[in-house]
Amino acid sequence: MRVTARLIRLTVKALCESMDVETMVVIIKKLVPNYNLNQRVGFAEVIPVPNRDAANQIVHDLKDMDFFLQFISLLTDIQENGLIGRKYKISYLHLILEEIYKAGFIYDKKYRIFVEDPRIRKTRNWGFLREGHEYIFSFIYLDIVDNSTLFSQYPIDIIQATHIDLRNIVQYAIERRNGRIWSWEGDGGMGVFFFNNKELNATLSCMEIIHELLIYNHTRSRLKRPMELRIAVHTGSCVYMNDNEYINKSEIKKKLIEIESKYCSPNTITITQLVYSSLDHFITNQFQFIEKEGKSKMYNYKLKWEE
């Protein structure tokens, strides 16, 4: 997020009027444990740093370190829940929050973080994931069945238009549940979910894609035969990087490709045990256990016609 001059001024004033220097240092050390205020200001260790100088240095350092939103999250939590047994009223906090909301971010009380307001902006890290940090995600990976055959049967413009249609179906199903597409290769790609009920949202997105694809094949498809997908869903840890090449080489991507290629038949969804165990019975009752070798359990969903 771009931290404006107004936000900096408001935050400096908030710190100056709401707490002493010692408390400011306690808070910033929650984000930067080895932070040394005197060293940053250029004062000897025995010289007290004036209140306004401390606030100004801390706020600018937070901006430069890309910790500004995390710091405001801490101030929000401190005003609500206190710090070390003491309650604080943070001056100008409502004005600071207004500026952040205008910039397209909202406060998630469960995770105590600011995230993108999906009505305003959507980036692959939800506005807060930090490169090099590990998180738990739910992933989906989908691939068009026999995509190479389509290229030999149809003109390139027909294939490209069909791929765009599929991308739109997938993107809508994922993003309306606050997921993100991390990679797209024309014939398929990877979607990612992070927040509450991530396993459920990933699974429901895939079920919606399968259903919408059925309608698309019968009403809008440019192809003479139905387009088919294989979709895998898995939950696991992954280091967040903005580099697609890193994600493509990651173990989680290899796992997803293995599930999709080995345990998915056309127009089905296969989920791992980690995903399955997080779903309610209404959803799991629609999945069938897959008989396979090894300890890992997997479950498959496919459209069924009512008898």
Quick count: other Cβ atoms within 10 Å of Cβ 276? 19
Residue 181 backbone phi and psi in degrees, to 5: -90, 120
Show the beta-strand stretches assigned E in the chain: 105-108, 113-116, 134-144, 180-184, 188-193, 229-239, 268-272, 288-289, 298-302
The domain spans of the chain are 5-116, 134-302
Contact 235, 199 (CB under 8 A): yes
Q: What's the CATH superfamily of 134-302?
A: Nucleotide cyclase, GGDEF domain (3.30.70.1230)
According to the model, what pLDDT value does residue 256 have?
95
According to the model, what pLDDT value does residue 39 have?
95
Tell me the HSE value of 33 on the side-chain side, using a 13 A CA sphere.
0
Beta pairing class for 229-239 and 268-272: parallel
Beta pairing class for 180-184 and 134-144: unpaired
pLDDT in tens, the chain (307 residues): 889 999 999 999 999 999 999 999 999 999 999 999 999 999 999 999 999 999 999 999 999 999 999 999 999 999 999 998 898 999 999 999 999 999 999 988 888 889 999 888 889 999 989 899 999 999 999 999 998 888 889 999 999 999 999 999 999 999 999 999 999 987 889 999 998 899 999 999 999 999 999 999 999 999 998 999 999 999 999 999 988 888 888 999 999 999 999 999 999 999 999 999 999 999 999 999 998 767 789 999 998 755 4
pTM: 0.85
According to the model, what pLDDT value does residue 179 have?
96
Best CA proximity match to 52, nearest among 5, 9, 90: 9
According to the model, what pLDDT value does residue 306 have?
54
Beta bridge partners of 83: 86
Residue 296 backbone phi and psi in degrees, to 5: -70, 135
Contact 206, 287 (CB under 8 A): no
According to the model, what pLDDT value does residue 112 have?
85
